[in-house]
Amino acid sequence: MQVVAPALGVQIQSFDARELVDIDRAFEAAAKAKVAGLIVTQQHPIPGNAKRIVELAAKRRLPAIYADTPWIHNGGLMSYGPSIPDLHRRAAVYGTRSSRREGHPPTCRCSRR
């Protein structure tokens, strides 16, 4: 992101949060810096505090993009990562198809819920 940002005319600022108290401090620092948006990467301890981060982003009216879909289930705006359940479904379908081609009976029937 740091490499591409200047070409897009944007500035990237990093706010580290390693513990719960750091999350509040990071949002305070972001507010003082008047950031226009938020990109939350998937790192420890962030996943365990997803709800808190989503709430703070909403409270500060910061558009935010998150690393994967569980953030969305906590109320996040959008994610850029894959849907893990969908990846599992696809893997099962591919496995079933390949076993049928090789003459093996399918081991499971997968359906989208």
Query: Residue 69: its pLDDT value, please?
Result: 78
Q: Measured between alpha carbons, how far is residue 12 from residues 31, 34, 72 in Å? A: 14, 12, 23
- Can the peptide bond before residue 85 be classed as cis, meaning omega within 30 degrees of 0? no
The letter for the amino acid at 103 is G
Query: Residue 74: its pLDDT value, please?
Result: 86
pLDDT (tens digit per residue) in 21-79: 889 999 999 999 999 999 988 766 666 788 889 999 999 999 999 888 778 888 898 88
pTM, two decimal places: 0.67
103 pLDDT exceeds 70?
A: no
3-state secondary structure labels for all residues of the chain:
CCCCHHHHCCCCCCCCCCCHHHHHHHHHHHHHCCCCCEEECCCCCHHHHHHHHHHHHHHCCCCEEECCCHHHHCCCCEECCCCHHHHHHHHHHHHHHHHHHCCCCCCCCCCCC
Burial class of residue 50 in the structure, from the number of CB atoms within 10 Å of its CB (0-12 exposed, 13-18 middle, 19+ buried) = buried
